[in-house]
Amino acid sequence: MTKRNMLVAAMFILVLGALGVTQVVLQQAVEAQGDTVSAPRFEVDPFWPKPLPNHWVLGSAIGVWVDERDHVWIIHRSSATLADQEKGLDLQTAECCAGAPPVLEFDPDGNLVQSWGGPGEGYDWPQSNHGIFIDHMGNVWIGGNGANDSHVLKFTRTGEFIAQYGMAGVHRGPTDAEGLSTYAGDSNDQQNFGRVAKIFVDPRDNEAYLADGYLNKRVAVLDADTGMMKRYWGAYGNVPDDANLGPYDPDAPPAQQFRNPVHCADLSNDGFVYVCDRGNDRIQVFSKDGTFVKEGFIARRTLASGSVWDIAFSRDAEQQYLFVLDGMNGKVYVVLRETLEVLTSFGDGGRQPGQFYGVHSVAIDSEGNLYTTETWEGKRLQKFVYRGIGTVPRNQGTVWPNSTQ
């Protein structure tokens, strides 16, 4: 009896142990499911674009757009932000290298199609170019965030000058160690601007939406043919106020004005303006007339340069998703547009393909592929290939090829 009792007890213990292991496995499965989500998937293409000719290298890459032919346009700061060791040809000290022209156009395969840009007759090239947009007429719009940049420029796609809106140097003043103005702009000026970060042209109403920007604190809307100011607004649709808001405090009530820089003002297919209030770590959404609709916060405890740098809309008809760039944390967030909820993110800090150093601007092509540029020491253009909707971790890290399959 004693042996039989011992055998029964041993079997009972084994059964309990098996049940315990099963419970742990089930719990881990449940927890794992909680750490995944259904969302658009991407992987980096480390072979795109193809090498530039003429020993050219990029400076801080500060804007990107994709036109109706799926040609990818970028603007960068050429040799202005290159170290002396990077521009031996420019300085005639070595065989390599030289800063590429500021505007570069690539075909879908990553071949360089054309390049142009820089100072010319009849216009003031930005002291620090910033942002590029190709409108429905094929015109190329360029802003700037330098001390003199109180204007925007418009060119043909081959680089012929069309128009300058605003006068250069209107709001120039003392600058700090980073070259930014130490005094407020004039966010109620109806003729000039205050360091425009990005431009978006609405083909339906032929209006240009300016993220105005690094000195001013507003969205400005222009007639895209004449450059005439039609309307403008600040955070929550308020009249803009250039008063210094002081350091950003994530625990304070939301600021009633934008912080510099107002970094994007892009229009959705259903007619809402999505504004990157970068310094306040938030996206604010407006109707076209400036009526406030809603807001959402991204990585709200990010200080210094903020977390909301640029956005792109997914290519489905409803534009269900936003892709939000965060240059400080080195990520692209996939955001549900309806609720502004972050579903997942990809990317990490670093210099390898699929990683970021100051990821700054984003655009999307007709197939849903994303293109990003990097400022600071990032100085590059990357392509992220769309791999459809699938199950991904909440934090994907570096999306190396096949890592999302």
Q: What is the pLDDT of residues 206-264, one digit of tens each?
A: 999 999 999 999 999 999 999 999 999 999 999 999 999 999 999 999 999 999 999 99
Which of 104-118, 161-175, 346-360 shows the lowest mean pLDDT across its residues?
161-175
User: Could you tell me which residues are beta bridge partners of residue 385?
Assistant: 43
Task: Summarize the confidence of residues 365-379 as an average pLDDT.
Answer: 97
If pLDDT is split at 50, 70 and 90, which confidence band does 404 have?
very low
Given this model, what pLDDT does residue 317 score?
96
Q: What DSSP assignment string belongs to 206-266?
A: TEEEEEE-SSS-EEEEEETTT--EEEEE-GGGPPP------S--TTSPPPSSPPSPEEEEE
Q: What is the pLDDT of residues 305-325, one digit of tens each?
A: 999 999 999 999 999 999 999
The CA distance from 379 to 155, in Å, is: 24
Task: Summarize the confidence of residues 197-202 as an average pLDDT.
Answer: 98
Domains in the chain, start-ordered, CATH in brackets? 40-393 (2.120.10.30)
The CA-to-CA distance between both ends of the chain, in Å, stands at 58
Q: What is the pLDDT of residues 250-289, one digit of tens each?
A: 999 999 999 999 999 999 999 999 999 999 999 999 999 9
The CA distance from 391 to 405, in Å, is: 9
Kindly tell me if the per-residue pLDDT of 178 is higher than 70: no
Q: What is the pLDDT of residues 65-93, one digit of tens each?
A: 999 999 999 999 999 899 999 999 999 99
If pLDDT is split at 50, 70 and 90, which confidence band does 172 have?
low
Kindly tell me if the per-residue pLDDT of 11 is higher than 50: yes
Given this model, what pLDDT does residue 185 score?
80
Given this model, what pLDDT does residue 25 score?
38
Q: Which helix (H) or strand (E) holds 16?
A: helix 2-34
Cα 262 to chain centroid, rounded: 12
CA-to-CA separations, 220 to 25, 189, 287, in angstroms, rounded = 56, 10, 13
If pLDDT is split at 50, 70 and 90, which confidence band does 164 have?
very high
If pLDDT is split at 50, 70 and 90, which confidence band does 22 have?
very low
